Amino acid sequence: MSESERQLGLLTAEKAEAQASRNQLEKTIRDLTERQARLARQLSDQNRDLDELDRQISTLPDPAEKQEEVEAAESALEQAENAVADIEEALAAARQAEVAARPSVDAARSQVNGIETEARTIRRMLDASAVQGAAPPVVDDMKVDRGFETALGAALGEDLESPLDPGAPAHWRAPGDGSDDPQLPDGAISLTQHVRALQTLDRGLRQIGIVENDATAERLLPLLKAGQRLVTRDGAVWRWDGHVTGADAPSAAALRLAQKNRLAELEGELTDARDQLAAGEAELAAAAARIRAEDERLRLSRETQRMVVRKLAEARDGLAAAERASGDLVRRRAVLAETSSQLSLQIEEIGEQMEGAREALEDAPDVAGLELKLNSQMTTVATDRALVAEARAINDGLARENEARERRIRAIAAERQTWNTRGQRTGAYRDPART
């Protein structure tokens, strides 16, 4: 029986262990299945979130396009800055041109003012020397080459103040044509070559010769014909009759002629000075116009530059916003992608674990076979136990019977002892065992 009990214990323990192992594997498979399902749901949620992030990212402005806008704005700003620098240089050059043109204009204006002042002064002097209401003297109608005024004044003297008016006390009249008049001696030049006067004075002027110097006049004096005279440019006069007048202060007529010549020169100079002033003022006005034009160009260019700066700032802000928005979403997507990857790996690992658990479950001991063996062994044990119980019952009966005999024997012995004691007391009893 002990062997069958031992075998029963072994089979019971083996079945319990097999059942526990199978239960553990089945529990493991259930747990793994639940965990796999849970992770699969999480992975599905993650994938939906990834799809949503991809959709959001696809709707965001492209940072590359924003970068191109920034680069284009930077290039435009560089061009605008270069344009401003060029215009500033042109403006500085225009201002320098204006500064350079101004002194010549001031000088030309000063020259015009000076000439006009001198011309007004001479006109006032000529007007002051004229007799109010009288006929104009012939000198007013004469034109003398510059430098020959003194010679003419010395040659004709106060006669130049006489008019052509016959009613005047002293006046000029037309003489004959002078066809028979003698020629001036060689070395003397007729005063008519340097004086343009009325025809009335032409005959007398032809008989007045201009000589270079006093020595020439002295040499030619004996050659003079009646009515002829020689004169130097400084006013010395040699007359045909031998009368000689040295150079002295110029006469009023000579001064008047000089003033008239000077006035005529001033008119020419004034025209030139005014032309120069007009040219200078035109140049100055052109420089001022260039300055205004360059100022306007600079204003417009700077306005363009400010607009480009604003566009660049907006482009940079747009780029930064696009990068931030894209970066946030990309970072979130990267985290989700990493999480999804980890979930996929965990699901794969759980699948491998489940596969291993299923294989282990397939390889686990057959609990049903063990159950049959256990039942068979339990039958054997029950049979053995019945036999043992029967043997024990027989043994117990024998033991009881033996115990009863022993008790009887002890009772007999006690009873004999009692009788022996009584016999000893009476002396008549003798123990049969001692006989």
Give 183-205 as a DSSP string: PPPTT-EEGGGTEE--HHHHHHH
Strands 143-144 and 195-196: antiparallel
Measure CA 431 to chain center.
150
pLDDT at site 239? 93
Sort 408 into a burial class: Cβ within 10 Å, 0-12 / 13-18 / 19+.
exposed
Confidence check: pLDDT of 137 > 80: yes
Backbone phi and psi for residue 145, each to the nearest 5 degrees, phi listed first: -60, 145
What are the tens digits of pLDDT across the range 225-279?
Answer: 999 999 999 889 999 999 998 877 566 667 777 777 787 788 888 888 889 889 9
Residue with tokens 């027989």: 394
What are the tens digits of pLDDT across the range 11-61?
Answer: 677 667 766 777 887 788 888 888 888 888 888 888 888 787 777 766 666
Confidence check: pLDDT of 63 > 90: no
pLDDT at site 397? 83
Extract long-range pairs of 18-25: CB within 8 Å, 24+ residues apart. Answer: 18/364, 18/365, 18/366, 18/367, 18/370, 19/367, 21/364, 21/365, 22/361, 22/364, 22/367, 25/357, 25/360, 25/361, 25/364
Top-confidence range, 204-213, 390-399, 410-419? 204-213
Beta bridge partners of residue 422, listed in sequence order:
none
Q: Worst-scoring range by mean pLDDT, 13-17, 109-113, 357-361? A: 13-17
Top-confidence range, 159-163, 250-254, 304-308? 304-308
Does residue 46 contact residue 338 with C-beta atoms inside 8 Å?
A: no
pTM: 0.46
C-alpha distances (whole Å) from 398 to each of 293, 367, 384, 405 are 149, 44, 21, 10
pLDDT at site 14? 66
Neighbours of 416 (CB within 10 A): 13
| Residue type present at position 172 | W
Confidence check: pLDDT of 193 > 90: yes
Q: How far apart are CA 181 and CA 175, in angstroms?
A: 12
Neighbours of 146 (CB within 10 A): 11
